[in-house]
A = this chain, B = another copy of it.
Amino acid sequence: MAVDKKIVVFVGGVGGAKLALGLSHVVAPENLTLIVNTGDDFWHLGLKICPDLDTVMYTLSDVVNSEFGWGVNGDSIITLDTLTQHFQFEPWFRLGDKDMATHLLRTHLIREGHTLTEITQFLTKQIGVKPTMLPMCDEEVPTSIVTKDQGTLGFQEYFVRHRWQPVIESIEYTNHKQAKISDSVKSAVELADMILIAPSNPWLSIAPILSISDLSDLIQSRDIPRVLVTPVIGGAAVKGPTAKIMGELGLSVTAESVARFYGEVINGFVNDIENRDLAFDHVKTTKFNTFMKDLDDKIRLSESILSWIEGWK
């Protein structure tokens, strides 16, 4: 299948990276731009950590730990174990030795004054990612989780340290209105022939992207297919806290709740065959098996989605 349309994909971590990988096998690299959530970036041990950028980069360069879906394959953890052994210092966020190379180099380049966009383009080119990967913005826009039982937590504190167990009261996107859409993101969205939203967590991975400045308005102003791939399958999320969060936010764990959350941002919806139909006047829908367990699944789903969109009148 040859796709010569320019495709922009909004993507978070593990789930979204799967679709991004599938698309990278189907779409020419010069036509594929991945705009990645950085709302869960944080500083740790003096290192700038960008978990979603890394997950997508590792996935698309085929060095990812395929069991976890994140981190580098065959990694060890000598540095952090030594931190504990020599200094009785036990970080709650574990970083592998191979993974560390990314954090060291990125942090070094940030301290030298480069933007996250520049650094991401450099790192992805060096490691062999062919499509364009862009952070959603250059500023730091940390997502905070206001919990019912543990106060306000930084994203990774919530997600990793507390294994997303605290009950969410609300989610706060900070600094997002001061942050600017980068020229690269703006240009990619303006030139796109279609926009996809990967099956990432809507509240934790995609909403931070849409919250940046007037990106959401820019997207809605584009009269092109703007298609969401459901992150909910059969009343559950494939992985991670999506279903749990929906419950805590008082939403039913259905594709319909998710589609409603995106509102006018989307005009197309790829539902899963296990989900109930949804019918919104302004949203075209279809159903595929959206569960991706191996590379073939990812490619098949990518092809199905693009074929379906090609068929739009």
Contact = CB atoms under 8 A, between A and B. Distances in A.
A126 B79 contact: no
Contact of A123 (B45, B80, B87, B104): B87
Residue of A78, A86, A87, A126 with most chain B CB atoms under a 10 A cut-off: A86
Nearest to A97: B78
A107 interface: yes
A97 B100 CA distance: 10
Interface string A91-105: 000000110111011
A54 to B, nearest CB: 11
Nearest to A58: B86
Interface in A97-124: 97-98, 100-102, 104-105, 107-108, 111, 123
Contacts of A83: 101, 104-105
Interface string A73-87: 000101110110011
A46 interface: yes
A104 B72 contact: no
A171 interface: no
- What class of interface size applies to chain A in its complex with B? 20 to 34
Contacts of A86: 61, 63, 98, 101-102, 126-127
Q: Please give the count of copies of this chain that the complex contains.
A: 2
A105 B79 CA distance: 10
A89 interface: yes
A162 B46 CA distance: 29
Contacts of A80: 101
A47 interface: yes
Given A45-B105, A46-B108, A98 B126 contact: no
Contacts of A45: 104-105, 108
B46 A104 contact: yes
A221 interface: no
A4 B111 CA distance: 48
Given A45-B108, A100-B100, A111-B46, A126 B89 contact: yes
Contacts of A104: 45-47, 79, 83
A76 B97 CA distance: 10
A88 interface: yes
A86 B102 CA distance: 8
6 contacts: A78-B98, A79-B100, A86-B127, A87-B123, A88-B126, A89-B126
Given A63-B86, A87-B127, 13 more contacts: A46-B46, A47-B104, A72-B82, A76-B76, A76-B78, A79-B97, A79-B98, A79-B100, A82-B101, A87-B102, A87-B105, A88-B126, A89-B126
Q: Which 10 pairs between the two chains have the least Cβ-Cβ distance?
A: A46-B108, A82-B101, A78-B97, A83-B101, A87-B126, A82-B98, A79-B100, A46-B107, A86-B127, A45-B108
